[in-house]
Amino acid sequence: MKSIYQAAIVILIVSGILIFINDKLNEGGSAGKNTITVYNWGEYIDPDLIKQFEKETGIKVIYETFDSNEGMMGKIEQGGTSYDITAPSEYMVEMMKEKNLLLPLDYSKIPNIKHIDPYFLDLPFDPGNTYSIPYFWGTVGIAFNPTLLEGQTFESWESLWDPTLKQRVILVDSARETVGMSLNSLGYSLNSTNLGELREATDKLKALTPNVKAVIGDEVTQLMVNGEAAISLTWSGQAADMMYENEDIDYVVPEEGSNLWFDNFVIPRTAKNIEGAHAFLNFMLDPEVAAQNADYVGYSTPNLTALDLMDPEVVEDERFYPDEETRSHLEVYKNLGLELLGVYNELFLEFKMNLR
Amino acid sequence: MERIGKLPKLYLTVVFIILYAPIFYLIFYSFNSGGGMSDFESFTWEHYAAVFEDKRLIVIVLNTIIIALLSALASTAIGVIGALAIYFMRNKKMRNAVLSLNNILMVSPDVIIGASFLILFTMIGVKLGFASVLISHIAFSIPIVVIMVLPKLSEMNPTLIDAARDLGATSKDIMTRVILPFIKPGIFAGFFLALTYSLDDFAVTFFVTGNGFSTLSVEIYSMARTGISLTINALSGIIFVVTVGLVLGYYALNRKLKAPLAGVKK
């Protein structure tokens, strides 16, 4: 059958040409053996920095992206990949550590660690930073649009329970954040393991029901930007996105305290080029690099020296770089273990079922 | 077209508006200098320039197209052979069993297919990357091709084959001159469906990409946390225009090819 053969040949030729073009574009990729593979969140690094790193060290970077901690760990655990660097959040660092998926870092090869604010080092999820280096950090707080409200502010979590805010509050669909917010409002720890406290927090959360407009995920950004929602519980990074697109929006971390989260660079056990991975870590910790990267990505950098090189207006913005006082109220999530995590999820579900 | 009533016409219009509005909305904002999708500031080409400057993005787009073309081609070849085998199977029970197995693969969730491929590849030591993505795309496209080709085969009058044999055709002649021409529309439909399946598959691909090889769907999904930039809008715009161009070209070519044939028939 002529036309079928013809079609097949045309397709093969087109694919051949495309493969050729692709190879040309990728040139240099196979030139040297010295490459590292970086597995990071999408849009989480300034691409110019990768070029700069390649030029300075001669190490070629293969860059790949993922969209969830769990997906990332799944692929590393399963093997078949050779990622040299990846960037899990703090609870995932703990989990990967337990599963023996990480390599300890050699700090003699990462002298730039001295630029990191000691406040962000030696935290419970990785004591002594044996396996991880903080990359970006942020908080959980309340994003709100004052133009849609009547002078309410949210210095305290308690203000969310204000009876005038009927059907206006959007919560995130995540057990630790939402139950944690309620725990904080009662003055308890985010990592509470006391079932009585958890019960109390859930009951308090139920009292919030009339004010809850929705419990959703990332879609909240668009709703806030378009002014369709006035108040949302959210992460500082997401709040920054909202504020970037809609200048009316403001963000606060309530005074009772809140969650402090991290994304961290680690070297997985499956890494092939450990030397190159350390070089990359050291490069990313360079103050100039970190400053440029923080500028591009928009999250808060833990690099103390870099702060001096950045736009003072950004660095002095206490919403994203909170002062010592606020920070002393912040807590990092601890890995509570599967059983207790189950309890959190159960209580959160109970609250969600109560919504209707 | 007088036969179409007012109501169906209106219905059709509404459906098309619903289908196309998001695409045009997205393309509209690809010209926004404001950087976001909220308010339109002024017209700019910068996002389109950014697409062509981003070498990584272009490589990923090309990867996606190469995988789609090759996997659709391979799965069409395998799928047609499979459909023929099912059609000519003597044992009815066996035929139904094979067909059911084929259909189970069609409806089983992508996540499960992806996860099992990941396990398989790591077990037998296939390095994740181009090959693993290609193999899994071929695999999930085969059942689709089979489903597209089988009805064409059953549509065919079996006496056609007998007649050909009576006239002295060899088995090879029957295959290339009788059966394949008859099921050609099914083969092409299967090919194009496999192509589109491969282009937009995320779940399976996510599991089996690795070592620097990625496709567009995986890349766009991973941008979700930090917000999808307008570069992606621009890229979608380009892809949309190219697709429309290809479809129009296909029809133009079709008409050209058909015209002389119609003359012969007279």
pLDDT digits over B21-38, tens only? 988 888 888 888 776 666
Question: Average pLDDT, stretch B132-145?
Answer: 91
Mutate to test the interface with B, among A12, A30, A51, A245 (most CBs of B within 10 A): A245
- Under an 8 A CB cutoff, do B227 and A64 touch? no
Q: A188 with A201: CB under 8 angstroms? A: yes
Closest by Cα among A284, A285, A319 to A299: A319
Contact of B131 with chain A, judged by CB distance below 8 Å, is answered with no
State the complex-level ipTM: 0.71
**Average pLDDT for residues B221-236, to the nearest whole number?**
74
Selecting from B37, B55, B184 the residue whose C-beta is nearest the C-beta of A25 gives B55
Looking at residue A33, its pLDDT comes to 67
CA distances from A16 to A9, A183, B69, B205 (A): 10, 60, 10, 22
Q: Is B187 on the interface with A (CB under 8 A)?
A: yes
Of A63, A80, A221, the CB nearest to B128: A80
Nearest chain A Cα distance for residue B17, angstroms: 22
Spatial separation of the C-alpha atoms in residues A123 and B201, rounded to whole Å: 40
- Tell me whether B98 touches chain A (CB under 8 Å): no
Lowest mean pLDDT among A20-24, A34-38, A270-274, B235-239: A20-24
In this prediction, residues A150-163 reach a mean pLDDT of 85
The answer, yes or no, to whether residue B129 has pLDDT greater than 60, is: yes
Query: First CA to last CA across chain B, in angstroms?
Result: 26
What is the predicted pLDDT for the residue at A278?
94
Two structure tokens written together for B98: 């094979």
Q: pLDDT value at position A107?
A: 92
The residues, any chain, with a CB within 8 Å of residue B119's CB and separated by 6 or more, are: A78
Per-residue pLDDT band at B262 (split at 50, 70, 90): very low
Q: What is the mean pLDDT of residues A29-57?
A: 81
A-chain residues near B188 (CB < 8 A): 7
What whole-number distance in Å separates Cα of residue A91 and Cα of residue A262? 9
- pTM of structure: 0.71
A74-98 pLDDT tens trace: 888 877 778 899 999 888 898 899 8
Q: What is the pLDDT of residues A114-150, one digit of tens each?
A: 999 888 888 888 888 999 999 999 888 899 988 888 8
- For the cut 80, the answer to whether the pLDDT of residue B214 exceeds it is yes
Amino acid at the residue B127:
K
Chain B residues in contact with A241 by the CB 8 A cut-off are 226-227
Which helix (H) or strand (E) covers residue A136, if one does? strand A132-144
Average pLDDT over residues A269-281: 91
* B260 vs A324: CA distance, rounded Å: 82
Q: Grade residue B264 by pLDDT with cuts at 50, 70 and 90.
A: very low
User: What pLDDT does A1 receive?
Assistant: 67
Q: Which residues in B lie closer than 8 A to residue A237 (C-beta atoms)?
A: 226
Q: What ranges in A164-257 are assigned the alpha helix state H?
A: 175-185, 195-207, 220-225, 236-245
Whether B70 has its CB under 8 Å from any CB of chain A: the answer is: yes
Across A42-56, A185-199, A277-291, the highest mean pLDDT is recorded for A277-291
The count of CB pairs under 8 A between chains A and B is: 121
Q: Where are the alpha helices (DSSP H) in chain A?
A: 2-25, 47-57, 69-78, 90-98, 175-185, 195-207, 220-225, 236-245, 274-285, 287-297, 304-309, 312-315, 324-327, 337-353
Residue of chain A with shortest Cα separation from B75: A8
Residue A34 burial (CB count, 10 A): 13
| Closest B-chain CA to A19 | B66
